[in-house]
Structure 1
Amino acid sequence: MVQSKISKYTIIVFLSFFIFSCKNKEKTAEHNKLKAPDKEIIKNYTNNTFNFNTVSGKAALTLTQNDKKNSFKITFRIKKDSVIWISITPLLGLEVARVMITPDSVFMIDRLHKTYYKNNIENINEILHIDISYNLLQNILLANPVSIEPENKKDKIYIRRNRKEQLYFVSNVKRRKYRKVINKDKDKFKETIETIWIYPDNFKMAKFEINDFEENKYFNAKYKEFQTIENQIFPKLIEYNIKNDKNYSLTVDYTKVNINSPVKVSFKIPSKYGQIK
């Protein structure tokens, strides 16, 4: 087996999983009075799911690491609850990497270094240092509802109105505690805070954030623009940020999206490629 460092293309693929022509409506007083009651916020957010059997298309990616930017194009194909398939190419050139993720496994081909990676999906944690599941990957790629679980069963989910940003705030801690921890007590706090910000006009995610203060890990997804695809709201521009021992930022711009078209998922590992252990 090849004992090789993970290439930047591998990082790009996994980051993209953590990992539309209509922009979000401009924030006006009429749309952003944040008057919806708590039950309506959760109901509208939960029911506002992008429905599909398959979704495929193209996107432009920009990876930023240590102030260095690399741009790529991807072709993606997703079969609901079954498989996520992505092919990565430079702006001009042949495929440099291919990935396939199923509910229990991850497969990666690095054509530049003639290597491949395969393992259980739980072991993505070894690369990205955050816990991830297939359903979470699928949801954050499509801006579908992500659930938040309180740290303690006796605790509850807190809903507040962020009037400064004109967003609904949903978290497993109170907003006052969230601000205090983020601004003052990061070193003392040893729990995980999960937070969702929701747009009041379409009840889609504006931001999703995981702060693991005990392990000093951070993940953030920002849904900056949306587009309408066959009368459904689909993300257009997303920014993902991961912080652990290193910091990464990945911007995804969906340039072409097809819903429920037949998709072919091809993944064959060349016999001469070495396995990344």
Structure 2
Amino acid sequence: MKKNISSRLILLCLVVLCFACKAKKEAAPVLTTVPPEASNKTESIKAISENAFGFRTLSAKAKIDFKLNNTSNGANLNLRIRNDEVIWMSITAIAGIEVARVMVTPDSIKVYNRLQGEYLAKPFSFISRYSGRNVDFNTLQSLLLGNTIKGSVSQASEINWSGNQTVVKSSAKDLIYELIFNEHYKLIENRLRDSKGQQLNGKYSEFQAINGQNLPYSISLLSNAGNKNVRIDIKYSSVSVNEPVDFPFSVPKRFTVKD
């Protein structure tokens, strides 16, 4: 990873995960709408809910590739989550040297950059400068695990069936969703856009069983905003759930606090 990486670049990575993008409109898939008599909408919603990845704590190791326009940075990611409470990330260079550490809660975001000796602490609402006011902690957590975002699937949603795929279209809190699920009701594509045209496309594949549940080991998040093209690829190599985890975040006194 290049040594000129900054806390703002790390934050940008996080923001893109949260929905900071404006992408070209993609062609919609050809779908056949099945009447309610043939396919039960309520049962599909129930299956989607039951097949969401559930956990109390999660610990994972991954390789992450972040591409901004023609610049690419590869790194290793150590991820720890306490469901709905804390997301903790340690980012290391390929050589094994820790580059940065990130801790996110529903109320705050903290980042420190070892290479630059910088520390950034902001309320979670800081992300809204880049992503929109409707982005919250749950959005980020769901995108990292391939779960649906709260409010994106309900009885008010439009549901279509095509072969072995289920497509859900809905809107909530100024966000418009198009979600595609496989035959096991696992999310394989998640398209979001807001009323201003900002859009994010997440793709999920290479599912593996963890404690009887399926988790995508390959995640690709695509966006472009103006003249910025962003892609984040995450490849999990190991995942464990419901084991004790801690979230160390001690900032050295020599670090400079950034605005």
User: How does 1:89-238 map onto structure 2 within 5 Å?
Assistant: 89-128=92-131, 131-148=134-151, 156-163=156-163, 166-172=164-170, 192-200=175-183, 202-212=184-194, 214-238=195-219
Query: Residue 251 in 1 paired to residue 233 in 2?
Result: yes
Which blocks of at least 5 consecutive residues in structure 2 are unaligned? Answer: 21-33
Q: Distance in 1 between matches of 2:71 and 2:138?
A: 31
Deviating more after overlay: 55-64 vs 127-136: 127-136
Q: Distance in 1 between matches of 2:111 and 2:157?
A: 37
Q: Distance in 2 between matches of 1:236 and 1:133?
A: 23
Deviations 1:163-206 (A, max 9, x none): 5xx52111127xxxxxxxxxxxxxxxxx7521111112x10111
User: Is the 2:18–2:135 Cα contact (8 Å) retained in structure 1?
Assistant: no
Query: Residue 239 in 1 paired to residue 210 in 2?
Result: no
Deviations 1:57-77 (A, max 9, x none): 200101122133221101111
User: Is the 1:216–1:244 Cα contact (8 Å) retained in structure 2?
Assistant: no
User: What amino acid does structure 2 have at the position aligned with 1:159?
Assistant: I
Q: Distance in 1 between matches of 2:151 and 2:240?
A: 29
Which blocks of at least 5 consecutive residues in structure 1 are unaligned? Answer: 20-32, 174-190
Q: Distance in 1 between matches of 2:82 and 2:98?
A: 21
Provide TM-score, normalisation by structure 1. Answer: 0.76
Aligned pairs, number: 235
- The structure with the largest strand share of the pair is 2
Q: Distance in 2 between matches of 1:130 and 1:208?
A: 19
Provide TM-score, normalisation by structure 2. Answer: 0.81
Q: Distance in 2 between matches of 1:156 and 1:109?
A: 42
Give the 3 Å change call, closer, same or farther, for CA 124–17 of structure 1 in structure 2.
Answer: same
Q: Distance in 2 between matches of 1:18 and 1:267?
A: 25
Deviations 1:45-98 (A, max 9, x none): 012122211110200101122133221101111111211100001111311110
Residue 16 of structure 1: how far off its partner (Å): 4.4
Q: Distance in 2 between matches of 1:136 and 1:259?
A: 20
Equivalence for 2:10: 9
User: Is the 2:19–2:131 Cα contact (8 Å) retained in structure 1?
Assistant: no
User: Is the 1:10–1:110 Cα contact (8 Å) retained in structure 2?
Assistant: no
Give the 3 Å change call, closer, same or farther, for CA 268–254 of structure 1 in structure 2.
Answer: same
